[in-house]
Chains A and B, each alone.
Chain A
Amino acid sequence: MRNGLTAAGAATMGAGLLAHSSSVFAERGPEEHSGRLTPGDAALLRFAAAAEILETDFWVQYNELGGVQDSEVPGGSGNPAYTAALEVLDSDMAQYIHDNTDDEFTHQNFLNAYLASKGADTVNLEQFRTLPGSSATGSSGKLRLTNLTQLTLDTSWWTRYRSSTHNPDLDPNFKFPQAVPTLAVGQHTAIPRTDDDTKDTNFLQAIANTAGFHFPTIEQGGNSLYPSMAQRATHVEVLRILISIGPTETMHFQTWSDKAGNAPPLTAVDPVTGVSVTFPDLNSPPFGGEDFQTNLIMPEPCPFLSRKLPPCSIIRPTETKGIAMGVVNFLTAMGLFIGQPPAFFELLRDLAEDADEARRGR
């Protein structure tokens, strides 16, 4: 392993750039089956399927506690106190959580079904469903793939999409400031771990605010992942899949970035871990004003491809090289997989390496 490269990959995904992952393990075993797809296309879709399975898992956790409870997304029974704290950000939070969860289910199901329809290997992570999740009222108590209770969030997308002068693809060393600097250090829960977490209203609001920033932090990743991978698709139908799913992640991101801006300013200390978090007033200095007011949820035009060309309103980053491993690093550094065993990380890295090796035409 080339020390530094992988860590840089995680850091820059948050800041908007994916470092080029090194191919550390040269020894090859039997390849996955790609069926009637090219190996590259199958690898791109398999990585997307894995990412969607993981997304589905944590959205289900959010929905069980804070979403609309219905037969479309069954499992939980809702946590009234947490749901109410989320609704401080927007009265439609429960509906949006439900619909985002439903979307991710369809993505994972479609991608695996498409792979199977082409005779290609699919992805199933059920072996790793071992994490305990929340025991608070409303949770189904099922075992989970992802951990929402020890998150470290990079909220620099807030300034990345408001910058008119910096594009992470052109400025790989530029450090976009964090919206909520304290979320970027320490570990924070985005769901009530137990019913005790719902007793202090200030701390419960901090948990809901953390979720409110986790949502766009995640979705902006998908927002970059799909166009980045699409550049290396071979078959036009695979391209169509990637460029049809990707923009739904963008729709999620923009919705959630609007809601995050409504998180009420507060400071709270986690009574279990002692970790402090402060949500600043994002309409006051150093933010706010013409460039940073919270209702600016459409991407500010920025340099694209070359500074010699005029600014353009775009998704960024979309650099394709190393995108999959960058996403694995990004999600791992977020703490989403704390508690998972080495085999889990080995699998994710394997899928990412294959996806990053995909090239148009093979």
Chain B
Amino acid sequence: MFRVELKKEISNEEITEWLKELNQPPFIHEERIDGGRGGDYGGRAVGP
């Protein structure tokens, strides 16, 4: 069993700003991932 751990914290605001630079709309459904718990992505594991 392997998993990749996120090792840096990037705030939603920083990502929103980055998306603006790329001329892209911000994310729209973070609640699907973290249940609306703001910047806390819980386990955040992306491994199986």
Interface of A toward B, CB cutoff 8 Å: 1, 3-4, 6-7, 10, 24-25, 27-33, 46, 115-116, 120-128, 130, 152, 329, 332-333, 335, 338-347, 349-351, 353
Contacts and interface: CB of A to CB of B under 8 A. Distances in A.
Interface of B: 2-10, 12, 14-19, 21-25, 27-30, 32-34, 39, 41, 44-48
Contacts of B16: 342
Contacts of A29: 5-8
A156 B4 CA distance: 35
A3 B29 CA distance: 25
20 contacts: A1-B18, A7-B21, A7-B23, A10-B22, A28-B8, A32-B4, A33-B2, A46-B4, A115-B2, A120-B2, A121-B3, A126-B48, A130-B29, A341-B27, A341-B29, A341-B34, A346-B6, A347-B46, A350-B6, A350-B7
A30 B4 contact: no
A333 B24 contact: yes
Nearest to A112: B2
Contacts of A46: 4
A115 B48 CA distance: 14
A113 to B, nearest CB: 11
A193 to B, nearest CB: 16
Contact of A32 (B5, B17, B23, B29): B5
